[in-house]
Amino acid sequence: MDTDNIISVQGVSKNFPGVRALSDVSLDIKKGEVHVLVGENGAGKSTLIKILCGIYSPDSGTVYLDGAPYNPENPRAAMEAGIRVVYQEFNLLSYLSVAENIFFDKLPLKGIIVDKKKLYADTADVLKRVGLDVDPSVPVELLGVAQMQLVEIAKAISSRCRVLILDEPTATLSPSEISRLFDIIRVEKQQGLTVIYISHHLNEIYEIGDRVTVLRNGEFVGTRNTGEIEIRQIVSMMVGRQMDSEYPFMDEPRPLDAPLLEVRGLRIAASKHEISFVLKKGEILGIAGLVGSKRTETARAIFGADSKLGGQVLLNGAELDIKSPKDAVGHGICLLTEDRKSQGLILDMQVDSNVSLAALDKVSHRGLINHGEERRHAIHFTDELGIKTPSVAQFARNLSGGNQQKVVLAKWIFRDTKILIFDEPTRGIDVGAKYEIYLLLWRLLAEGKGILIISSDLNELMGICHRIIVFSEGQVAGEVLRPDFQQEHILRYAYRVS
Ligand SMILES: Nc1ncnc2c1ncn2[C@@H]1O[C@H](COP(=O)(O)OP(=O)(O)OP(=O)(O)O)[C@@H](O)[C@H]1O
Ligand SMILES: [Mg+2]
């Protein structure tokens, strides 16, 4: 066996009812490398990680750690072996302090009481390693998302950690936070840490990765040195075909001149500015801006999820009275939220019930849900969006992250609204599936709908929008038309430099 390898996965398979999540997968992780794992939604990435960290046990095959068979019975055993994971969903206890979270299972004691002085000093040390400047005694619930992410990492590296696994860590981070995370990874790597990194942002592969492994449909496709492969080739390994462009932009249909949705002088909480813009019929309008530029808050105010302090929302020239999301949906406006788990999806319900959740009238007759109808519609959408599930009777919880996101999309498309507001619609979705979603947006436009997209991925906005407005600190700082789309141009508005 190659002694350069810290982990060697050999012929591992894992089945769930109706799903072959991993099929005879073999791959090696070298000591001290950053190994990026990519693949479409449902390809088996998280399942492989869960095997490494003791949540699942393989049905067949063997994992070796330092050349010896390794089959952790539970997450604790994996931790003791030095394998730590940072999941995209946080596992912090919000009411405990930063220090207590980091040293939760190894609090320093003085006799029988916690040695607070040592606890805070030790915490300050690890916080310095991850570059987080907060008071160790502060409760975690007071931190922002990026800071929580750093606490998770601090927690992982605070005890003997040999392999750090990051499952889609950058989905919620801003560009500067991402580069900070990469700096931390580089430093820890020099100290001998091995990192397994999962991401749907393929450009990150080159920034941080030494090697990349592609999984497709539960199978191992290949491992390459990042210096020897282009994005284009990785994409075709992922999707099993050539993809010429990531973003379909069609000239037809063109937006009509008449405003469909008009926002006039909207005022939202925590901002002293007024927001005004127009969305035309048949248009995809993008909203760009930095994290904290109040894009989500604006969408929520339009949708009635948060209250408005002033201003009007007009649909086809008529003012709407929207006080709650229910009013908004009644007027044909829907919002796909960025936080699919808490706002979009009921994890303990089946896929088909989730799809019809916002349009029960369409599958009911005299108040009774027709389950056959519900099933039929859900099957239509799972085909159209390529939702990977053994059947529509599967619980949403058992779908992979990206496929859950597609179910949320199906739900709102089924509702058949006039205006679709998407907040980070393709976060966590793989390249192939993104493409399918963009095509679907064009079909919706052809029906005369208007689409508003908030995205932190500028390439995505420039790839698919007719027009982009840029938010900065709660105001519309600028508007850019398609022929003028340039990253620099948009960022200048976002940062308000002239
Ligand atoms: N507990 C489970 N029960 C049933 N099926 C499951 C379970 N966990 C995962 N699966 C299925 O196994 C397959 C692989 O899922 P996995 O979560 O590993 O995908 P992934 O590559 O991480 O995808 P994503 O990019 O969307 O996160 C999917 O089809 C998923 O629905
Ligand atoms: Mg996953």
Nearest-CA residue for ligand 1 atom 27 is 401
Question: Nearest Cα to 239, choosing from 82, 395, 100, 434?
Answer: 434
On whether both 286 and 141 belong to a single domain, the answer is no
Residue bearing tokens 């808490």: 342
The H-or-E segment that residue 345 falls in is none
The pLDDT of residue 1: 58
Q: What is the mean pLDDT of each run of 10 residues along the chain (498 residues)?
A: 87 93 97 96 93 96 96 93 83 86 86 89 91 91 83 88 88 77 91 93 91 96 96 88 78 84 93 94 93 89 92 95 92 82 80 89 86 93 90 92 85 87 85 85 88 91 95 93 90 82
> Which of 186, 211, 239 is at the close of a domain?
239
* 251 occurs within a structural domain: no
Q: Are 132 and 143 in contact (CB under 8 A)?
A: no
Residue to mutate, 38, 49, 398, ligand 1, most ligand atoms under 8 Å from C-beta: 398
Nearest-CA residue for ligand 1 atom 29 is 42
Residues 205/207/208/213 CA torsion (nearest 10 deg)? 20
- How many domains does the chain contain in total? 2
On whether both 224 and 280 belong to a single domain, the answer is no
Strands 467-472 and 475-481: antiparallel
The pLDDT of residue 78: 95
Reduced to 3 states (helix: H, G, I; strand: E, B; else coil), residue 184 is helix
The residue type at 41: N
* 160 occurs within a structural domain: yes
| CATH code (residue 174) | 3.40.50.300
The pLDDT of residue 341: 62
Residue 109 CB coordination number (10 Å): 11
On whether both 220 and 279 belong to a single domain, the answer is no
On whether both 229 and 292 belong to a single domain, the answer is no
The residue type at 484: D
* 244 occurs within a structural domain: no
* 77 occurs within a structural domain: yes
* 252 occurs within a structural domain: no
* 247 occurs within a structural domain: no
On whether both 277 and 151 belong to a single domain, the answer is no
On whether both 165 and 308 belong to a single domain, the answer is no
On whether both 123 and 174 belong to a single domain, the answer is yes
On whether both 182 and 276 belong to a single domain, the answer is no
On whether both 137 and 22 belong to a single domain, the answer is yes
On whether both 192 and 340 belong to a single domain, the answer is no
* 250 occurs within a structural domain: no
Q: Which stretches of 75-144 are DSSP H helices? A: 75-80, 98-102, 116-129
- Rounded Cα–Cα distance for residues 224 and 203 (Å): 15
Ligand 1 is surrounded, with C-beta below 6 A, by 16, 19, 21, 39, 41-47, 388-389, 398-403, 430
The pLDDT of residue 369: 87
Residue 42 CB coordination number (10 Å): 26
* 254 occurs within a structural domain: no
Range of the domain at 358: 259-494
Task: Calculate ∠ Cα 304-308-309, nearest 5°.
Answer: 170
> Which of 195, 210, 239 is at the close of a domain?
239
Q: Are 426 and 473 in contact (CB under 8 A)?
A: no
- Rounded Cα–Cα distance for residues 201 and 171 (Å): 9
On whether both 351 and 478 belong to a single domain, the answer is yes
On whether both 380 and 489 belong to a single domain, the answer is yes
The pLDDT of residue 16: 93
**Ligand 2 center from residue 200 Cα (angstroms):** 10
CA–CA distance from 205 to each of 196, 208, 228, 305, 463 (Å)? 11, 6, 12, 37, 21
